[in-house]
Amino acid sequence: MTFEPSGEMAHSARFESIGVRLPQTKVSSRALMASTRHHTGIDLERLTGIHERRVAADGEDSLALAVGAARDCLGRSRHGAADLDMVISTSISKYRGNFSQRLEPPLSLFIKQAIGAPQAMSFDLSNACAGMLTGVFVLNDFIRRGAIERGMVVSGESISQLGRNAAQQVHSILSRQLASLTLGDAGAAVIVERAPENQPGISVAAFTTLSEHSRLCLGYPSHIGPGASMYTKARTLQRAAIDNVPSLLREALDEAGLDIGDVDFFIPHQTSSRAIRAGIRVLAEQFGAEPRNVVDNVELFGNTSSTTHFLALHRLLQEGRVHAGDRVLLLALASGLEVGVVMFTMDGLAELSWAS
């Protein structure tokens, strides 16, 4: 596992504010399955725990969701856009205006112009569903080395069209496009800044890649409808994660000097309720304990890819469930296979106004 560089670091980093942008349209699992071409007999809600997901309307492309989330984040921040030293865009989907992926100019350029941060350094970074946490990993390093004071990681995922395309092809529960039916659209943004001296913040940011599993989830241009199609060997991917995550997580916890029972809120990647429960059972067997609270956010939003962790954390803050001093662990599981851990202690983030 790759940790932040060891040795003397000038500063520590913390999360300063979080914002989200959710489409207004909601599509239930029942309605999605009613749109399938074939009679599958699949009870998707029972299988995954997903009651509904948000679906982008016309004009709500990747850029619009990202900009909306960035503006919401700035609206809660103590800083203005001009105070940002860096903007990192981390979405998988890079749609701007239609279902053509726009790689150059990068979305980060349009985002920083839209929010009024033209002076900020900017670039796009893609790491599947681990994208936002990878962006945090990068910002954390820049801040700890004293290269910058603060930056924003932002993502706009317009991915529900994968589910619409899959609905035309899924025949049974064994279909490799089944995972596409769990996807929802969302934007999320987070500002990471230099922490005040002797204040808690991000204690561990660690990532590893298990590239032998890189072909377990693949995306291709769709021949059914606009956008793409995704093919996932979901059970094999889950087994690979279960086999590898405990040892990697133990390494990260040891780096922080913590046991898993010391974690107040554990936010795994939000794929399905069943997968989350299975993972926690394995961790309980391996560690002899569980985190105090395991966050399952899929019922109302489904799997929103790179935005899932901050969508879940935003909801915890809105509901007033997380408080200063709480230890939070974010666990990324992404196609590749990519495993990432970010641990931090809640401080000023909990003090912001989280009214809708």
Q: Which two tokens stand for residue 184?
A: 């929802």
Among 167, 194, 221, the domain boundary falls at: 194
Q: Is the same domain home to 346 and 249?
A: yes
Q: Is the same domain home to 188 and 216?
A: no
pLDDT at 15: 97
Question: To the nearest 10°, the Cα dihedral for 127, 130, 134, 136?
Answer: 140
303: DSSP letter: B
Q: Beta-carbon neighbour count of residue 226 at 10 Å?
A: 13
Alpha carbons 250 and 304: distance in angstroms, whole number = 27
Whichever domain contains 273, its CATH number is 3.40.47.10
Establish if 98 belongs to a structural domain: yes
Establish if 355 belongs to a structural domain: no
Question: To the nearest 10°, the Cα dihedral for 197, 201, 203, 204?
Answer: -130
Q: Is the same domain home to 39 and 158?
A: yes
| Tally of structural domains, the chain | 2
Share of the chain above pLDDT 70, in %: 96
Tell how far CA 160 is from the center of its chain: 15
pTM: 0.93
Please say if the pLDDT value at position 3 is more than 60.
no
The residues that bridge with 341 in the sheet, in sequence order, are 206, 331
- In single-letter form, the type of residue at position 356 comes to S
pLDDT at 86: 98
Alpha carbons 123 and 139: distance in angstroms, whole number = 12
Q: Is the dihedral of CA 250, 256, 261, 267 positive or negative?
A: negative
Please say if the pLDDT value at position 191 is more than 50.
yes
The residues that bridge with 230 in the sheet, in sequence order, are 219
| Segment of 108-117, 158-167, 212-221 carrying the highest mean pLDDT | 108-117
Show Cβ contacts of residue 321 under 8 Å, excluding neighbours closer than 6 positions.
265, 293
Among 165, 194, 223, the domain boundary falls at: 194
Alpha carbons 109 and 316: distance in angstroms, whole number = 31
Chain mean pLDDT for the chain: 92
Establish if 160 belongs to a structural domain: yes
Q: Is the same domain home to 179 and 304?
A: no
Establish if 54 belongs to a structural domain: yes
Q: Which residue has the tokens 């909801």?
A: 315
E strands in 112-210: 121-124, 150-157, 186-194, 202-209
Span 282-299, average pLDDT:
95
Among 131, 164, 194, the domain boundary falls at: 194
Show Cβ contacts of residue 323 under 8 Å, excluding neighbours closer than 6 positions.
346, 350
Q: Is the same domain home to 157 and 235?
A: no
Domain membership of residue 158 as a residue range: 2-194
Q: Is the same domain home to 136 and 174?
A: yes
Q: Is the same domain home to 174 and 314?
A: no
Per-residue pLDDT of 24-55, as tens digits, reads: 999 999 999 999 988 888 999 999 999 999 99
Q: Report which of residues 319 and 350 the model is more confident about.
A: 319
Establish if 50 belongs to a structural domain: yes
- In single-letter form, the type of residue at position 38 comes to H
Establish if 181 belongs to a structural domain: yes
Q: Is the same domain home to 174 and 291?
A: no
Alpha carbons 158 and 62: distance in angstroms, whole number = 5
**Candidate from 145-154, 225-234, 325-334 with smallest mean pLDDT:** 225-234
Establish if 328 belongs to a structural domain: yes
Q: Is the same domain home to 115 and 171?
A: yes
Closest CA to 236 of 341, 335, 126: 335
Per-residue pLDDT of 132-158, as tens digits, reads: 999 999 999 999 999 999 999 999 999
Q: Is the same domain home to 302 and 189?
A: no
Establish if 356 belongs to a structural domain: no
Q: Is the same domain home to 163 and 280?
A: no
- In single-letter form, the type of residue at position 170 comes to V
Q: Is the same domain home to 17 and 156?
A: yes
